[in-house]
Amino acid sequence: MIPTVQCPKCNKEEAMDKVLTAHSNQNVLYKCPHCAYSKRQIQTSKG
C-alpha cells in the first residue's frame, strides 16, 4: 500500500509516490498536481 499525502492548500489526497520527489535522503520535495502547491521537506508519517 502506498501512503497518501494531503495537500495543505487544496486538501486533496494523492499517493505519496506521485507528489513526493526525493532528491536525497533528507531532501524531499512535495508538489501537488491539483493546485501546483509545492513545499520542501514536508512531514511524512514515516517512522
Q: Which residues of 15-33 are buried (b: 16+ CB within 10 A; e: fewer)?
A: ebeebbeeeeeeebebbbe
Among 10, 13, 27, 44, indicate the residue that binds Zn ion (CB under 5 A).
Answer: 10
Per CB under 5 A, contacts with Zn ion among 21-40 are 32, 34-35, 37
Question: With the C-alpha atoms ordered 2, 23, 42, 8, is the resulting torsion angle positive or negative?
Answer: negative
Closer of 27 and 33 to Zn ion (Cβ): 33
- Using CB under 5 A as the binding rule, whether residue 18 contacts Zn ion is answered as no
Contact footprint for Zn ion (CB under 5 A): 7, 9-10, 32, 34-35, 37
